[in-house]
Amino acid sequence: MNPSPLPQPQTDPTPIFEHYRGSYGTELLTAAVEHLNLFSHLAHAPMSLTALRSALGLAERPATVLLVALRAMGLVAGRWPDQLELTPIAREHLLPGGAFYVGDYVGLSAESPGVLEMVRRLKQNTATPEKTDTGAATTAFTFREGAGESAMDHEASARKLTLALAGRAKNVAPAMAAKLRLSGVKTLLDVGGGTGIYSLALLRANPSLKAIIWDRPEVLKVAREFAEEHQLLDRVELRAGDMFAGEVPQGCDAILLSNILHDWDIPECNVLVRRLAGALPPGGRLLIHDVFLNDTMDGPLPLALYSAALFSVTEGRAYSAAEYGAMLTSAGLTPEPVVPTLVHCGVLAGVKR
């Protein structure tokens, strides 16, 4: 057993993640101006999200990703989701025919591959597929029985994607372990734990804690290496399975969902939260570790662009604390205030009533 905390970075890598996701702003803005003619639809009167997405032919998830980003950019305002309206800057510069119209300039990138692929995703409500070891197109980060192949079930792609996520996790996990109080918790279930690095940080900070890391078999090969390297294999159980179909491991008094729900659309999130809540004892806690959009669904801009990134590779998007709170409440859990960690992330706990 190694009781020292995991090392924390000396500098905050958040700006690197923000710059990395910057291209989604160009893609969404150009798609709205050049391919969807979105601003003209709002020229005469405010519209509800439902009416606007029906006019644009967009499903709820892509419409939400797009409109939250345009609101974060200061181009669309009004009460979400009933009353969407143009801001003065959009009215003056993004309505075709206006004296100070800049849409032609934005249109210079209308045919760029990134913009065209974003338009396809928005219209079809589907991610850009990941390639497996055999070159087959498949989903990244997610597995669902009957939904086709998963990159997480192929050795090389599972390792590549899992190690890629560790790049962020090794920065954030020590901050989580320093801020999250787990006193009284005996066993933590880390659902879709990946490398398990969040569990490892919590194990180091809580010497009597044990953890079960529940993920796909190929991912758990990487988790085993991490647990061995951190000398914590004796306090970790690696459990292979399907979080949507397999029996939820019993006997856990806290359950961690770190960067999981944002991979799924709202119906799947509700299914998962209810399944996990059902396995908790009274007073047990479901810990959602994720980013949180403003409850007013108008930013912050870096998270609106992260939402576009999630939309581009998974079935999900970023959600607000209010949206997660509704999922927790309907599963019989009481939401607590968000505890910030690092890189825009935080923990929203739901306590079983």
Q: Is 6 in the site for ligand SAM (CB under 6 A)?
A: no
Total residues contacting ligand SAM (rule CB under 6 A)? 22
Find the shortest distance in angstroms from Cβ 184 to ligand SAM. 23
Within a 13 Å sphere around the CA of 121, how many CA atoms are in the beta-carbon half? 28
Among 201, 219, 287, 349, binds ligand SAM (CB under 6 A): 219
- Min CB(138)–ligand SAM separation in Å: 12
Judge whether 105 and 341 are in contact, CB under 8 Å.
Answer: no
> Is 262 among the catalytic positions?
yes
Nearer Cβ to ligand SAM (49/347): 347
The one among 30, 142, 312, 341 contacting ligand SAM by CB under 6 A: 142
- Output the six-digit token pair for 280: 């908790």
Please state whether the peptide bond connecting residue 81 to the residue before it is cis, i.e. omega within 30 degrees of 0.
yes
> One of 93, 154, 230, 262 is an active-site residue; which one?
262
| The one segment of 24-32, 70-78, 80-88, 136-144 that binds ligand SAM by CB under 6 A | 136-144
- For ligand SAM, the binding residues in 181-200 under the rule CB under 6 A are 192-194, 198
The distance of closest approach from Cβ of residue 60 to ligand SAM in the complex, given in angstroms and rounded to an integer, is: 22
Closest distance of CB 264 from ligand SAM, Å? 9
Phi (first) and psi of residue 35, to 5 degrees: -105, -30
Residue number, 103 or 194, with CB nearest to ligand SAM: 194
**Are the C-beta atoms of 311 and 317 separated by less than 8 Å?**
yes
Cβ-count burial 199-238 (b if 16+ within 10 Å, e if not): bbbbbbbbeebbbbbbbbebbbebbbebbeebebeebbeb
Handedness of CA 294, 298, 300, 306 (dihedral sign): positive
Q: Which residue is nearest to ligand SAM (CB)?
A: 192
* Cα(16)–Cα(309) distance, integer angstroms: 15
CB 335 within 8 A of CB 283: no
Strands 339-340 and 345-352: what pairing? antiparallel
Closest separation in Å from C-beta 79 to ligand SAM:
32
Residue span binding ligand SAM (CB under 6 A) among the ranges 46-54, 90-98, 135-143, 224-232: 135-143
Inter-residue contact 80 to 297 (CB < 8 Å):
yes
Q: To the nearest whole angstrom, how small is the minimum distance from the Cβ of residue 268 to ligand SAM?
A: 10
Judged by CB under 6 A, the residue of 204, 210, 216, 230 near ligand SAM is: 216
Comparison of 29 and 219: residue with beta carbon closer to ligand SAM: 219
Cβ at position 299, least distance to ligand SAM in Å:
23
- Site residues for ligand SAM, 24-63, by CB under 6 A, read none
Residue with tokens 């933590």: 188
What are the two backbone dihedrals, phi and then psi, of residue 131, each rounded to the nearest 5 degrees?
A: -95, 135
Which DSSP category does 258 fall into?
A: E
The residues in 149-188 that bind ligand SAM, with binding defined as CB under 6 A, are: 152, 162, 165, 169
Identity of the residue, 106 or 248, whose beta carbon is nearer to ligand SAM in the bound complex? 248
Say how far apart CA 169 and CA 345 lie, in whole Å: 11
Interface of this chain with ligand SAM, residues 223 to 282, rule: CB under 6 A: 242-244, 258-260, 263
Please compute Rg for the chain using Cα positions. 21
What tokens does 81 get? 């989701």
Q: Give catalytic residues, as residue numbers.
A: 262
Q: Which residues bind ligand SAM (CB under 6 A)?
A: 141-144, 152, 162, 165, 169, 192-194, 198, 215-216, 219, 242-244, 258-260, 263
